[in-house]
Structure 1
Amino acid sequence: MSENVVHSLLSRSELDVYGRLIRLFLLSCEEETLKTAAVILELCHNEEGRWDHLRGFLQGGCVPTAIRVLEQEGNEKEQALRVLNESNTKEHLHISDGLPLPCAPMVRTPALLKVIQRAQEEGREESEELVLIPAVHCLFPLAKAQEAHRHTAGMHRETLQLLTALVDQRCTRGLLCAVCEATSRIIITQAIRARWWKRVAWRPWFRDREVQLGAVRAVHRLVEGNEHAQKSVEAFAGPRPFLLLLKNSRAGGVQEAAMETIWCLAGEDLDDQRSMAVAIGQLVFLAVTMLGGLAQGSGEEHAAMAGACTPQFIARVLRSNGKESVMGAVRTLRHACLGVGFSPHPLVQGQVVRSGGVALLLALLTLSCCGLLRREAAWTHAVVTHAEPSSETSPPLGESVGTSSTPSSLPATPAKNSKQRSS
């Protein structure tokens, strides 16, 4: 078949030749994968119509497809790596505006960074979707899959500089998500020496939920078990951005990530843990050691915790889908409602009742599949509804479980049983 005929077939959009080749590249058969890869590389090498071929493969999703092949286990991955590992292939792919991405595992981080830098400098409208986002996304699976790649990317001085430059350009939501994901995995190797991480990772004020989640996770990975990083974050802005995010966000995943990050900022010091618990209104994802420290707190500390606690936030945390977050909220409510000598705190009890927290505790008690969570909810319910005989401000038990605060998911008490009890 002549080259003119081949070019004519490729130019006919209704045949979708580029798309068919890309789909063939994903076949499970080794031989078909190798043959398809050879055809793609041959077309990209051919001087005649070269840029048309490159554009067709890029628009057809060749880059994400190649990444999927590289992420697969087994012989297909090995064969794809062999095809792409030839020196002339790597050189050609590097100058082809996007296709060097699959070579990253072989030529290490610098080649991938060059792709990102070149696409950033050229500023083409289509570069972000076709090149930048897949390239930045590639940093994350590489760092996640192999310690060597994570260490190389984290220690390479240009990595965070490039990611920072992308953020400073006010990039789109998709690229911001990719940058945050890559940073969350790479930044773990940084001993917070680089000054760029603050602009890259500190993005909890973005309105987009996925960007918020990626940014908070990046900071969480940075400060977890890293005392130096904890102090740097405290000096930079402290927990306030995360407290605001925790209070205002309605996304369970963002709330949980913010809770864990705030808790990591407290470090191992018991006094710092208590201070952080007070700052976040006592409703956080707490460890057992934290609960033990709170139980020994003074009356003033409990009063401060009660003042910082908001009923709306209590209800949101108890409705969370995360079992650990719900468990932490249930336990911290119990500690907040009890003072020294197991005396009740009417102010906190009233807040829980008015926020519908008692009904939520009852729902957990009756509907949860976790036995431990049911026991914790029962204990906390007893504490919340407990009142001293002389107390006039504590909520009576009957008032706390009124029908107005009972969720519709709770099973109704049969009338027959009520008659039996009355008799």
Structure 2
Amino acid sequence: MDTLSDHGWSPIHYAAYKNHVSQVERIVESTGPEILETLTEDSLQNTPLLLAALGGREQMVTLLVNLGADVTFVNQQENGVIEICARYGHLNLIKYFVNLDNPRLNVWKRLVAILESDVENDILCACDIIFKMTTRADDVLSYSMDHFVDGGLVLGLIGMLNKNLADDVKKSALNVLKSILSNNLAKRQLMENKGTEVLVSLLLKKSSNLLPVLMETVCELASEKDFTESYSVNILPALVKVISNITYENKDSVLLPAFKAIGLLARSSAVYQEAIGKQAGLISVLVQLYKECQSETLLVSWSAAVGAVAGENPPNQNAFINENIVFYLHEMLRSRYKDVKLSAVKTLSRLADGNGQAQKTIIESNVVTPIMQLLKRNQSQHTQEVIVETMWVLAGVDSETQRTIAARIGVSLLVEFLASPSSKLNLIGTRGLSVLLQGPYDLRGAVASSNGAHHLVQLLRSNREDVVLSAVQALRHICLGVGYIPHNKNQTMVAVSRGLKLLIALMTQSQSECIQVEAALAIAASVQGHPRNLNIVCKNAGFSYSPILQLLASPNEEVRLLAGEALATFAFNSSSQQKAITHCGGVQWCNFAPFLESANASYRAHAAFQLVVLAKIIPDKDPSYSSATGIQTLVGVLESSGSNNTIALAADCVARLSHSRTGVSEAMVSIDVVNLLCQLLSSASDQVQGSAAIALNFLSFNHVGERQLLKRLREDPHLMKALMYYNKKQKWPTHFLQRWTHIRELNLTLNRNRKKFLQSSAAYTMTKSKNRSGGQTAAFYT
């Protein structure tokens, strides 16, 4: 626009420009409304309305429009009220013209049209006005974004960004583009009109002035799923080039949105997450950028990007592990900033999730120690949730590793989680206790001291099915340990806390068969070896074996197996409960036969135990046949299974049966089960060793079993060390200690007697030989 000149102005032009309202009113009244369209006699040929708009005179503009001035008139430079207001930044006047809602005055299209100008200053002014109109939250302009998009703003910005303009002009345009990309139609138009190609070309220029807003624009696009799947083919190579060899003065302004964009792209689509992993050099460069992250914010953003790329994607997880990402995350755990530490913990979780090898590598790097320190120093619920969820992810699916992690957390803290209002902590607390108590370590006393039974009973009232199920399972394990060794204090506390009543309700009324059968198992564990609890259950009007027997017909194989386990636990060493089960309908051979033939060895072990316990009440098979089949199946599992968990289960079943009815332990001893269990004492699995040691303890009460064990101890003295180690380490009940002390003393006595016998026998043989040889000595050892 040319420089404004007052030559050729009439009095109404002066009055309009100077905002002399009363003078304009008198002029129009005396000469008529036609004077409102009088043009200046200069090169611009402006009307009074255009001059009032140029001066930002809101009162005058309102007056002239009300008097009938033409709002659509444009001067010799094709500038109307909208163009003039945009150039001089009169946003309030533009707001006024928007409110006029004049169909002949399309504010949106007029502003967009300015972007086609060749004058950079005009473009800057238009971008500034549009940016303000699309980011303001007032009622009048809140709908302007849709109008701008309909008016072709996206195409206008793409065309402008393709021009050879100064960086500050393009930056202004990118700010507008970023602001309107929250509109889905704007995103669609940008992608369908090769807007992403324009952005990529600008990224490759690596302009330090444009990169920050470019990266933020990419972030806005990355939140659109269609962008990642169809229109972003070239964005990854450009991102790699941008973040490689960082030399920008303000690195944070580039890296922060870059990390955010990578994270958004990875989270938006599994396909794109895979593409990120396959993009040459991206993961390597991303890992090395840790060294460029000096601020707390940048470290957190970097860690989040790594986690997003790695999450639930084993190839990406392995690629990060190979790039030694764990070392840098370990460093973050030593940071003085809590947010940095928590971010590292979350990223470790995503690196390990579902990846056994990654879990093993991370645990071996000793990151668990600083994570546990962070857990013990922070009591906030959110922090505890993040940390223990990560710990449980690191534990994976291997029960030995889970037990190790649960032991690191500790019984007291796990019990604290039970009392938390957080369902996440409730779940990990119950699962951690369950896995700990299934091991050979006797930690039930610690649970009793922490009042764990009471808290577990309280969780039975939870409205979350997964929490209830996990709590029921934990209740079973705190009451009954390996070898069916009951814990009287925990059993009593379950009853005192009204847990038996709640469990019976769950068994009979729950809509979930899994909860029903687990509740039955928990009740059976609570009454095993506890006459008072058994009396409470039997007197409860709601309790009956019928619901458990009905579960034997469930379509769910796991439910059927556990229903048999519940019945066997009730019937264990209890003829009265066996009769009660028979009275309610009883069991048949067909309830167990499918499991005996299962390819799953643990199913076979469970079914074998159930057969032996329930042999007397299986009417369609001879009890001796049922018992023999069960015992042979158990021994077969011990001999052939390749799973430590299954072997430990089979040894546990042997331990249980070793102190059941008369004749069972004799039958097992007769088929060399003692020798098999002694071999298991050299297993690498603590669970296997512990279960085998407990089973050997019970079998040693059988005279033949005791002699077989003593024979093995003489052949391999290290076995006694292993037995005594587990006896001391696991803190078993007193009768275990007494039994192993007796075995040890007996073994030592036998060894001493054997040595004396050998010495006396050797002396006798030497004397006899001397007599025969006429004084020559020859030694013979028998």
TM-score tier after normalising by the smaller chain length: 0.5 to 0.7
Contact 1:203–1:211 (CA under 8 A) maintained in structure 2: yes
| Counterpart-to-counterpart distance in 2, 1:363 and 1:202 | 51
Correspondence for 1:406: none
| Counterpart-to-counterpart distance in 2, 1:280 and 1:357 | 28
The counterpart of 1:328, out of the listed 461, 470, 478, is 470
Correspondence for 1:38: 155
Contact 1:144–1:150 (CA under 8 A) maintained in structure 2: no
- Structure 1: gaps (5+ residues): 399-423
| Counterpart-to-counterpart distance in 2, 1:280 and 1:293 | 11
Correspondence for 2:238: 111
Contact 1:317–1:326 (CA under 8 A) maintained in structure 2: yes
Structure 2 counterpart of 1:161, one-letter code: Q
Q: 1:54 and 2:171 equivalent? A: yes
| Counterpart-to-counterpart distance in 2, 1:334 and 1:243 | 28
1:287/1:365 CA distance change after superposition, 3 Å:
closer
1:276/1:230 CA distance change after superposition, 3 Å:
same
Correspondence for 1:382: 523
| Counterpart-to-counterpart distance in 2, 1:316 and 1:242 | 29
Correspondence for 1:8: 125
After TM superposition, give the deviation of residue 359 of structure 1 in Å: 10
Contact 2:266–2:308 (CA under 8 A) maintained in structure 1: yes
Q: Residue 381 of structure 2 aligns to a residue in which SS?
A: coil
| Counterpart-to-counterpart distance in 1, 2:268 and 2:250 | 25
Structure 1 counterpart of 2:479, one-letter code: C
1:241/1:381 CA distance change after superposition, 3 Å:
farther
1:15/1:231 CA distance change after superposition, 3 Å:
closer
Structure 2 counterpart of 1:188, one-letter code: Q
| Counterpart-to-counterpart distance in 2, 1:133 and 1:280 | 33
Larger Rg: 2
After TM superposition, give the deviation of residue 112 of structure 1 in Å: 1.4
Partner deviation per Cα, 1:285-343 (whole Å, 9 max, x = no partner):
5999x979965x43x44448748977498699879887546533431332122124544
Correspondence for 2:192: 79
Q: How does 1:245-394 map to 2 (within 5 A)?
A: 248=379, 250-251=381-382, 254=386, 257-258=389-390, 260-264=392-396, 268=398, 271-281=400-410, 295=438, 297-298=439-440, 300-303=441-444, 306=447, 311=452, 323-324=465-466, 327-348=469-490, 358=499, 365=506, 371-372=512-513, 374-375=515-516, 378-379=519-520, 382=523, 386=527, 388-389=529-530
Q: 1:194 and 2:323 equivalent? A: yes
- Structure 2: gaps (5+ residues): 1-113, 223-227, 415-426, 538-782
1:11/1:341 CA distance change after superposition, 3 Å:
closer
After TM superposition, give the deviation of residue 160 of structure 1 in Å: 1.5
1:318/1:219 CA distance change after superposition, 3 Å:
farther
Q: How does 1:159-178 map to 2 (within 5 A)?
A: 159-162=286-289, 164-165=290-291, 168-171=294-297, 175=301, 178=304
Structure 1 counterpart of 2:519, one-letter code: A
| Counterpart-to-counterpart distance in 2, 1:397 and 1:234 | 46
After TM superposition, give the deviation of residue 236 of structure 1 in Å: 1.8
Partner deviation per Cα, 1:71-120 (whole Å, 9 max, x = no partner):
x8xx768515x332259844567432131536993335342134446889
| Counterpart-to-counterpart distance in 1, 2:205 and 2:493 | 63
| Counterpart-to-counterpart distance in 2, 1:117 and 1:249 | 39
| Counterpart-to-counterpart distance in 2, 1:14 and 1:62 | 7
Give the percent of matched residue pairs that are identical in Structure 1 and Structure 2: 18
Structure 1 counterpart of 2:328, one-letter code: R
| Counterpart-to-counterpart distance in 1, 2:303 and 2:266 | 11
RMSD: 5.6
Partner deviation per Cα, 1:354-386 (whole Å, 9 max, x = no partner):
9x89599679949x9852464267347636864
| Counterpart-to-counterpart distance in 1, 2:278 and 2:430 | 30
1:92/1:272 CA distance change after superposition, 3 Å:
closer
1:46/1:25 CA distance change after superposition, 3 Å:
farther
1:238/1:207 CA distance change after superposition, 3 Å:
closer
| Counterpart-to-counterpart distance in 1, 2:166 and 2:469 | 62
After TM superposition, give the deviation of residue 54 of structure 1 in Å: 1.4
Please, what TM-score do these two structures have when normalized by structure 1?
Answer: 0.62
Q: Residue 122 of structure 1 aligns to a residue in which SS?
A: coil
The counterpart of 1:157, out of the listed 277, 284, 294, is 284
Please, what TM-score do these two structures have when normalized by structure 2?
Answer: 0.37
Correspondence for 2:211: 97
1:77/1:352 CA distance change after superposition, 3 Å:
farther
| Counterpart-to-counterpart distance in 1, 2:158 and 2:364 | 52
Q: 1:233 and 2:233 equivalent? A: no
| Counterpart-to-counterpart distance in 2, 1:63 and 1:93 | 24
